[in-house]
Structure 1
Amino acid sequence: MWSTPIRAHCYSTWDTWFRRLGVGFEVLQQGLWLGLLDNQHLDEVGRVQYARWSKYGDEAYNLSGLLPWEERVIADYYPSSCSILVGAAGGGREPVALARMGYHVDAFDSTPVLAECCRQLMEREQLPGKVFVAGAGRVPDDVDGQYDGVVIGWGGYMHIPGRGNRVAFLTALRRRVAAGAPLLLSFFCRRERSRRHDWIHAFARQVRYLRRSRDPVEYGDTLASTFDHFFTEAEIRTELAEAGFELFDYRESPYGHAVGRAV
C-alpha cells in the first residue's frame, strides 16, 4: 500500500502534467485553426457562434442594464440626453439601457438574428432608435448624420481580425462624430509577451505561410470559440490615434476598456 505522502505526491505530479498537456492541446488547436482560417472565415465564425448562444438573445439578459464599469464610463464621459451610436449591439443590452437613461440611441450588429432581437426589444419597450445590420467589422452605410458619442458593445472590438480592419472601422466611426466625442471600447488585455501567445502566434503564422494566405496573424490573436485579439495599452493607443482619436482613459479591470476622444 502506498503511504499518504506518496499518493499525494503522485496526484500533484499527475495534475501538473495533465494541466500542461491541456494547455498544450489548447495552444495547438488555436494555432492550427487560426492558421487554417482567414479573416473572412473568422468573421463568419463570430456570427455563427453568437447566433448559437442563447444568452445574447435572451430578454432577461438584454434588459439587465449596464455593468458597473460601463455605468461609470457613461456617467463620466457622455453628457445627458446626447445621441449615441452603439456598435456590436448584440441583442440590445446596451442600447436598451442607454435609451432608458434618456440617451438618443441608434445601434448596429453584424449578426442578423441579434440585430433583429435588438430591434424588436427596442420596439416592445417603446424606445426610439434605429437598428441596422452591418457587415463584420463595418459601419453600415445606412448610418448617416452625426452622433455625440459612440459605444462599442462589450468585447466587440477585439473580435475584428486584422489591425488594418480595426483602424478602418474606427475611421468610419470617426466620420460620424464631431471633435471631442467619446468612444468606448472593451477588450481582453495582455502584457507585452507570454509563452502562450508566443506559441499560438508561431504555429498559426507557419500554417498561414504554408497556405500562402494574404492575411497575417498578429501577436495576441486567439481563437477560443470566437476570434479575440488581446491588446496592450500601446496597441489601443496607436489604433485610436491612426483613426483620429486620442486615448483618454485606459483600464484593465474589472474588464479591459478604454475611452477615446475624437480629435
Structure 2
Amino acid sequence: AQLPRYAHLSMILGDDGQKLSKRHGAVSVMQYDDEGYLPEAVLNYLARLGWSHGDDEIFSMPQFCEWFDLDHITPSAAQFNTEKLNWLNAHYLKRTETARLADLVQPRLQARGVTVTAAPSLAAIIDLYKERAANLNELADLAEVFYIELHPKAELLAKHLTPETLPALADFIDHLPAVAWEAAAIGALIKASVARHGLKMPKLAMPLRVLLTGLEQTPSVDAVVALFPREMVLKRLAWPAKT
C-alpha cells in the first residue's frame, strides 16, 4: 500500500509554559462552551496555534481551508494564550448577529434561574452591551440585572446618592411619567434636570446607573433607561423615597 503522508503540529504549551496534557492544563472542548466562547472563535484560535498565514489573525473556516499548508506549521512549541483567545472571542461577539447571541444567552440565564420576560427585550439588551463583553457568560451577567430583583450595594448608593444629587434625581423622576420613551428624549430630560440644579451630567447619570443596574459602568445612560419598561424604571428609582 502507498505510505500515507503525515505531519506533526507543534507541541502546545499552557499559559504557564508547561506542556499541555490531560494532567496539566488541558480541558474538554465542551468547557469552552461552558465558559462562553463562540465555536468560530475557538476554531480560529486553534487554527492559528502552531500555524500562520503571514500576519493574518482573523479568518473564516473557508479561508483557513484555502490557505492551510504544511510549510507554515511552526517547528517550535506553540503557547496557548488565554488572553489572546478572549480578545478573539470578543471580536466575534461584536460581529455576531444579535438574534443569535440572544438565543445563546437565554439558556445561560435560565440555568441560573433567571426568567427572561418580553420586556426588557433580551435582544435589545445584548445589542447595547455586546461591545463590552468578552464571552457569552459576561453578556449573561450584564443582561441578568434587567430581570432580577436588584439590590444595589450600600457603598455605591452612599457614594452616588448624596444630598447634592437627590434633588436632581427627584426632578428627573417627577418628569419621567410624561417623557417620550426613547433614548433621545430621556437624554434631553437628564440634561434638563441637571441644568435646573446647576450640576454636571455625571452627577445624575451615576445615581441612575447604580439604581437601575447596580453598576457604575454602563453604555450611555439614556439608552440604558430606554431599555427598561417605564414602570420598572419608576419602581427602581423609588429607592430614595423609601429611605
Question: TM-score surpassing 0.5?
Answer: no
TM bucket by the smaller chain? under 0.3
TM-score normalised over the length of structure 1: 0.26
* Structure whose residues are more often strand by fraction: 1
* Structure whose residues are more often helix by fraction: 2
